[in-house]
Amino acid sequence: MPTFFHLVNHYKKYKSTHKYLYIFSITVFFWTLFDGIISFLTPIIITQKGFSTLEMGFILGTSSIWGATFDFFLSKIIKNPSFRKMYLILFAICFMYPFILIKANHITMFLVAMAIWGLYYDIFRFGLFDFVGTNIKVEEHSESFGIIEVFKSLGYLMAPLIAGLVIVKTINYIPLVLMWVFLTCSFLFFLLTIKLRKRNLVANQRGNYNLTKELGRWKKVGKTILPVLFLTLTLYTIDAFFWTIGPLVSENLKQLHPFGGMFLAVYVLPPLLVGWFIGDITKRFGKKRTSYIALFFGSIILITLGFIQNPIVIIFTVFIASLILSISWPSINGAYADYISETPNAEKEIQGLQDFFVNLGYVIGPISAGFLAEKLHYLQVFSIIGFFGILISVILLVSTPKSIRIKI
């Protein structure tokens, strides 16, 4: 994952010639503050409305099911997406969404809210890719996505901190006002982006594909890179555990210690830090091996959470676990980039499979976390996922070939 080091280097290289990219990144920053607060509040809202943690996990899991469904249909329906039009639709939906979420009382309304959540996040992604694809030169795509990712990560880091500070015992109007303020700021920077952006540097066209043929290619590529896909599934399942149970843990720990509300914030902080040294580690041990080992040791730390009661020690333990696990993310993303570089004609299949397993993790994670939280203490839930993390990392370390070559 890119860090501020990446941002500084990019600015030194391009100076003010990429002003529209930086303005768009600020648009993304304020939007992720909005979406991050939504992500923090949603589990709390659902449980405060009387639903069990199992029901809450199921409800949250449906958002990714809808997301995957919309992802497929939007890619077929929208052949030539327009960043401007899609983001206008995005902001219209987002301005209404908090009201829909707060007013939901019945499970049907929450399922509708999750469908809308899945839809607007897909629109956000489609618009983001269209902006980069039609306004940034091809050779600058990776750097540009890195810049956007820095601001996106910063937004998701600050969101749980802000939400935790403004929620005392129950959710009142303050977080809602903050969400609309951040969304309004994002919209204003979006308008500025439209004014400054360059147009049509690259034609963004989508080809027509035979579904049966595409599924065959997915099967062939997926079988080859299955170990990496399983690691992706595991990492995003763990991430979903934190975003499902984390807000509830934060609210409980905050009653015991002022810093207890930082539970989720210290989890999302390390990904912004590991980029400073991850390159040296992967050069020495290899990308896949580094990812598996990081998952192994990070999962060991997670297991200890179920046996700790001191809020400060819990916060510190989460930070260390996340710091180690965060080494896996850029390592495995680097492996995907290598596969695409080695087999460029399989790029869409690799990206599609990666997205599918990400969505699958965000379906399995909330449902599993909700089910376990019904039976165990919240922190013991992380011990269970830690155990599975160890098991999967050992299997992958033993079974993954040293070199994976895609033939298609």
In this structure, which amino acid lies at residue 355? D
| One-letter amino acid of 225 | I
Asked whether residue 220 falls in the same domain as residue 196, the answer is: no
Asked whether 232 and 332 are in contact (CB, 8 A), the reply is yes
Residue 233 has pLDDT above 80, yes or no: yes
What pLDDT is stored for residue 204 in this prediction? 45
| Confidence at 18, pLDDT banded by 50, 70, 90 | low
Q: Are residues 44 and 170 in the same domain?
A: yes
Q: Which two tokens stand for residue 167?
A: 């929620």
Residue 100, class by beta-carbon neighbours within 10 Å (0-12 exposed, 13-18 middle, 19+ buried)?
A: middle
Q: Give the residue from 172, 201, 230 where a domain finishes.
A: 201
| DSSP H helices in 136-225 | 141-166, 173-196, 211-224
Please enumerate in sequence order all residues whose Cβ is within 8 A of that of 29, keeping only pairs 6 or more positions apart, or say none.
151, 152, 154, 155, 186
Residue 270 lies in a domain: yes
| pLDDT tens, residue by residue, 296-353 | 999 999 999 999 999 999 999 999 999 999 888 777 777 776 777 677 777 777 777 8
In-domain check, residue 172: yes
Q: Which residues contact 89 (CB under 8 A, 6 or more apart)?
A: 123
Q: How does pLDDT run across 190-199, given as a tens digit for each residue?
A: 999 888 765 5
Residue 405 located in a structural domain: no
Q: What is the pLDDT of residue 72?
A: 67
Q: Look up the CATH number of the domain holding residue 63.
A: 1.20.1250.20
Could you give the count of Cα atoms lying within 13 Å of 85 in the half-sphere of its Cβ?
Answer: 4
Predicted structure pTM score: 0.81
Owning domain of residue 41? 1-201
Q: How many domains in the chain?
A: 2
Whether residue 173 sits in one domain with residue 67: yes
From 125, 8, 148, select the one nearest 78 (Cα to Cα): 125
